Amino acid sequence: MSMRYGGGRAILQWAMLFSLWLAAGIACAQPVSKPQAGNHTVLVVGDSLSAAYGIAAHEGWVALTGQRLAARKPAWHIVNASISGDTSAGGAARIVAEVVRVKPAVVVIELGANDGLRGLPLRDLRRNLARMVGASQSIGAKVLVIGMRLPPNYGQAYTQEFERGFCGIADLMHAACLPFLLEPIARDRTAFQDDNLHPVASAQPALRDHVWPALAPLLD
């Protein structure tokens, strides 16, 4: 489900991404305990979209995914380490502590929306994503990167580069990628709270169902 870079700037882009990969390896060089055999844990590191902002925690797509795991893959469970308002920098700063604490077999990274909404440098977003993927893979965990899109008022160049960054890093680092978390509900205004940013409770099952086909292969 991932997308790749193309066009005349491909060589420059790949060189840049390779340097980010090296940076991720350096940042995560400290020893990290690997998952124990039989530890079938999914760790979700995200922002308010995964932290069930504005609704009850058990109504969010992460909790609903946990319920599906209990029904379909009872050996597995999910740990939600999402923080409302978090940026990719915040995730990169805490990812090592989280994987050491949880020792997950699968890590889901859903961060970057707040970077885009604040107009933060996309170079930093890519670097932070690479660090999070690298830290997760350093313990032997499989990784799913979940991407985001921005409204067009942020400008075509910024929005396109923002969107490409998620699956670009995932491709480079051999991780899975879901390009856009809100794809099934993005055009439905009634699926969002009054802020027009956070999905309502009734929209959460659609997000769970959207993430599941990308997540399920990593559980085998």
Q: What's the pLDDT at 20? A: 52
Share of the chain above pLDDT 70, in %: 83
9-59 tens-digit pLDDT: 443 454 455 445 544 454 444 555 566 556 899 999 999 999 999 999 999
107-123 tens-digit pLDDT: 999 999 999 999 999 99
Q: How many Å separate Cα 193 from the centre of its chain?
A: 22
Q: Residue 88 in contact with residue 115, Cβ under 8 Å?
A: yes
Asked if pLDDT for residue 167 goes beyond 90, the answer is yes
Helix orientation angle between 88-102 and 122-137, rounded to the nearest 10 degrees = 10
Q: What's the pLDDT at 11? A: 38
Higher pLDDT pick, 62 / 33: 62
Instruction: Cite the active site residues.
Output: 48, 195, 198
Q: Which residues are within 8 A (CB) of 19 and not within 5 positions of it... i.e. 6 or more apart?
A: none
170-198 tens-digit pLDDT: 999 999 999 999 999 999 999 999 999 99
Q: CA–CA separation, 99 vs 78, rounded Å? A: 13
Structural domains in the chain, sorted by start: 10-219 (3.40.50.1110)
